[in-house]
Amino acid sequence: MKLKLSDLKLTITIVTLLSGLILFLPTLSSANGLKGSIQGRVLDADSKMPLAGTNVSVNGTQMGSATDVNGQFSIKNVPVGSYILRFDYIGYETHRKTDIIVRSNRITYVNAELKMSALEGEAVSVSAGYFTESKDQPTSVIGFSAEEIRRAPGSAGDVSRILMSLPSVAKVNDQSNSLIVRGGSPIENSFYIDNIEIPNINHYPTQGASGGPIGMVNVDFIQDVDFYTGGFSSVYGDKLSSIMEMTFREGNREEFDAQLDLNFAGFGGVAEGPLFNGKGSWLFSARRSFLDLLVKAFSVGTTTAPRYGDVQGKLVYDINPNHKLIVLGVWGDDHISSDLDVAIENDMIVFGSQDIFENTTGLNWRALWSKNIYSNTAVSYTSTKYNEDYYETNTSVHLTRNRSLEQNFKFRNINHLRLNNKNTLEFGLDAKHLISDYDNFFAEYTDALGDTTPPFIFDSNISENRVAVFVNYISKPVKRITTTLGVRADYSSYNEKGTVSPRFAVSVRLSNRTSLNASTGLFTQSLPLLLLAQNPDNKKLSEPQAKHYILGIDHLLSENTKLTVEAYQKDYSHFPIDPSQPSLFLIDELFYRYGFFFNHAEIVDNGKAYSRGVELTLQKKLAQDFYGLTSFSYFRTRYRGGDGVWRNRAFDNQYVFSAEGGYKPNNKWEFSCRWIIAGGVPYTPFDLDASRAINREVQDKNRINEARYPAYHSLNLRFDRRFHFSRSNLVFYFSVWNAYNHKNIATYFWNENEQKQDVVYQWTLLPIFGLEYEF
């Protein structure tokens, strides 16, 4: 649903009051003499065994510690501030962790995994430390720490929006955080938290896809994030474009801690503490939006607002030093409703109500069987319930009713066996049982090209079993070369078909500073059951496939600055096409229509597409004062419909440039910004005569995706201010999105009230604020 907040007076008033508070607080706080501590554990990256005797030091100070027999360390009486930790162990690569924030009267937990030195007997100090490399994923991966995620300008605590500065992600619309990765659609991404798959991590999730307008994951839970944008190993399947793997931190094992949060979107809190005398911990958060409360209390330019909330938790219990249980839960509920008057006031094409309930609960068992083998085994349950009704503003016709319940039961096992220092084997199993209940209705409507589609009702209960086995063999045949050979076999009970997906990656270390990397592979994905359930004949469809070809080079300009250049090619096949709309690419319907899939009585699988491009990334870690990430990509993504004609896809920006960086003059202040410019994405112009005739939008069937929106560009500014008290801490941040108020076009639409083409803009200048109080 489209929401306009045209009057920002209330927000500006709140920000003014908070700014006055921030000016007053320095008289109450002082960092002088205030101290905290740093604790953590150091493990072998391959075996997950503790590394006793690791030297842990705080850069630029005389403070440090050594790990005990369990790999644990503790550094006490550290003055509050921001630090870099250095980890050294004989025979292993030196590792550094930046942005370690020490807070008053708090324990900061830092865990590290060290890799055996790839160049035994040779100096590795030039490349030591700031950047970690994935042994089985040499291409198309980037990682972020907890603090890098928290402070990112233009993200508002949404982990998906943080990735918008990467060259692999297309820039389409500020009002959605959908990840468009290397020309792929939002259905092609998956998310994992602590080995537990979560199909969608957003409030108001797009059914059948992975995007939404607002992130649901609490970034205060995140320990780190790895984002794979192509060529990922056979450990991951059933997705064509990207994998986001997140690790939630553990709660405090020694004492109770709490945090209260207030920001533009809502309020909430985080609490954590020990379990079973330190053998475990708990971490819990609850949040609730308050935009609906503001709408009721004040005049803010609209009479409707979203209402949403979420609850998240993580329990950890150490059965013994070698076996650990993790219980994870992420729950959300989303609501919004609007009537005809609101729709007319806000130029909404459709109006109605949404009530969505989402839940993922899972258990992961990590077992260290010996010094050479460990495993992770997860069982989880995911459900999403949709109660949605949409009406057409022009006619008040009940356009669609959605009563869906989608449930997934999942089992996932990954085993890691180190055969010797040069050979490693990964193998495992994925099993899913999917149950979907649909009681959906689509009224007679006019499709995108102006043709009448008859009413459609489907009341269906559909189930499917998916099973996959995978294996990776990682080898170092010679000193400077690492290869990964993998294969994955998937089977679906729905279409009674199986696929075999071979994958290969190689990394050649040309020097201590430079690596040449390449990967290729076959990737398959099941279509959303929401589409398949509409016709029993859809069981005959082949699953969409993508072949990845990636070549790249990494070069360390310094130990904290890395340049990466990659070229890629993705060839898609077996994509769904509606024969009644052969010129349109069905999977992209989420973008060229109302944001959901319509009914399609017949689907064939002869659609093809490709995406190719070149990406450049320059990343500087925070070694002293400055950090930054600059990226540029040039790419093309096109499709071939049922009519055999190649056309631009809806995400074809052609180019994206992003520059993001920050400056920390001291331990109290931090200033950051992000500027993005991207080519305008394609769209299909209206057939104005046909649109006037029926007073609905009708796209020109002779100009499918031939026009382009104007180029997108936007500047986001942010500052953070930290306050330290004797037994508590406070963080205040203030951000301005689209600081110079550029009018980026989101879409053109047919204004049914005025019977003409009109425009919807993306976010204009928007102030965002937040408070985090720790005690």
- Encode pLDDT of 403-431 as tens digits: 999 999 999 999 999 999 899 999 999 99
CA 635 to chain centroid, in Å, comes to 21
Taking residues 538-565, report their average pLDDT: 95
Please answer whether residues 273 and 282 qualify as being in contact, where contact means their C-beta atoms are separated by less than 8 angstroms. Answer: yes
The pair of three-digit structure tokens given for residue 260, joined into one six-digit string? 């209260």
Q: Report angle CA 656, 657, 660 to the nearest 5 degrees.
A: 135
Given this model, what pLDDT does residue 9 score?
45
Please answer whether residues 126 and 156 qualify as being in contact, where contact means their C-beta atoms are separated by less than 8 angstroms. Answer: no
Given this model, what pLDDT does residue 259 score?
96
Q: Whole-structure pTM over 0.85, yes or no?
A: yes
**Nearest alpha carbon to residue 591 among 631, 507, 648:** 648
Checking phi first, is residue 98 left (phi over 0); if not, alpha (psi -120 to 50) or beta? beta
Q: Look-up: residue for tokens 């945090």?
A: 259
Run of H or E including 340: helix 340-345
Please answer whether residues 140 and 228 qualify as being in contact, where contact means their C-beta atoms are separated by less than 8 angstroms. Answer: yes
Given this model, what pLDDT does residue 5 score?
40
Q: Is the pLDDT of residue 40 over 80?
A: yes
Please answer whether residues 108 and 37 qualify as being in contact, where contact means their C-beta atoms are separated by less than 8 angstroms. Answer: yes
Beta bridge partners of 354: 336, 388
How far is the C-alpha of 186 from the C-alpha of 564, rounded, in Å? 25
How far is the C-alpha of 756 from the C-alpha of 689, rounded, in Å? 10
Give the burial class of 523: count Cβ atoms within 10 A of its Cβ; 0-12 exposed, 13-18 middle, 19 or more buried.
buried
Alpha-carbon distances, residue 597 vs 458, 460, 639 (angstroms)? 14, 16, 19
How far is the C-alpha of 534 from the C-alpha of 640, rounded, in Å? 24
How far is the C-alpha of 261 from the C-alpha of 267, rounded, in Å? 5
| pLDDT tens-digit series, residues 368-385 | 999 999 999 999 999 999
How far is the C-alpha of 554 from the C-alpha of 571, rounded, in Å? 25
Run of H or E including 690: helix 688-694
Coil/strand/helix, residue 343: helix
Q: Is the pLDDT of residue 293 over 90?
A: no
The pair of three-digit structure tokens given for residue 303, joined into one six-digit string? 């009479």
CB atoms within 10 A of CB 535: 16
Percent of the chain with pLDDT over 70: 93
CB atoms within 10 A of CB 621: 23
Please answer whether residues 436 and 419 qualify as being in contact, where contact means their C-beta atoms are separated by less than 8 angstroms. Answer: no
Quote the strand ranges of 115-265, DSSP E.
141-145, 189-193, 196-198, 202-203, 214-215, 222-228, 242-248, 257-263
Q: Is the pLDDT of residue 29 over 70?
A: no
Sorted by sequence, the CB contacts under 8 Å of residue 656 that are 6+ apart come out as: 167, 169, 170, 171, 631, 632, 633, 676, 677, 678, 679
**Nearest alpha carbon to residue 726 among 24, 104, 79:** 104
Sorted by sequence, the CB contacts under 8 Å of residue 694 that are 6+ apart come out as: 446, 450
Q: Is the pLDDT of residue 8 over 50?
A: no
- Least confident range from 20-29, 78-87, 659-668: namely 20-29
Please answer whether residues 243 and 228 qualify as being in contact, where contact means their C-beta atoms are separated by less than 8 angstroms. Answer: yes
Work out the pLDDT band at 131, boundaries 50, 70, 90. Answer: confident
Taking residues 482-491, report their average pLDDT: 97
How far is the C-alpha of 58 from the C-alpha of 76, rounded, in Å? 11
Quote the strand ranges of 338-450, DSSP E.
350-370, 373-392, 398-420, 423-442, 445-446
Torsion of CA 340, 343, 347, 348, to 10 degrees: -110
Q: Is the pLDDT of residue 447 over 70?
A: yes
How far is the C-alpha of 160 from the C-alpha of 155, rounded, in Å? 8
**Nearest alpha carbon to residue 104 among 31, 40, 38, 39:** 31
Q: Is the pLDDT of residue 121 over 70?
A: no
Coil/strand/helix, residue 687: coil
Given this model, what pLDDT does residue 298 score?
52
Percent of the chain with pLDDT over 90: 72
How far is the C-alpha of 748 from the C-alpha of 592, rounded, in Å? 10
Q: Is the pLDDT of residue 603 over 50?
A: yes
End-to-end alpha-carbon separation of the chain, Å?
Answer: 38
| pLDDT tens-digit series, residues 342-374 | 888 777 888 999 999 999 999 999 999 999 999
254-257 contact pairs (CB < 8 A, 24+): 254/107, 254/278, 255/107, 257/106, 257/774, 257/775
- Tell me the one-letter amino acid at 747: T
Q: Max CA-CA distance within the chain?
A: 79
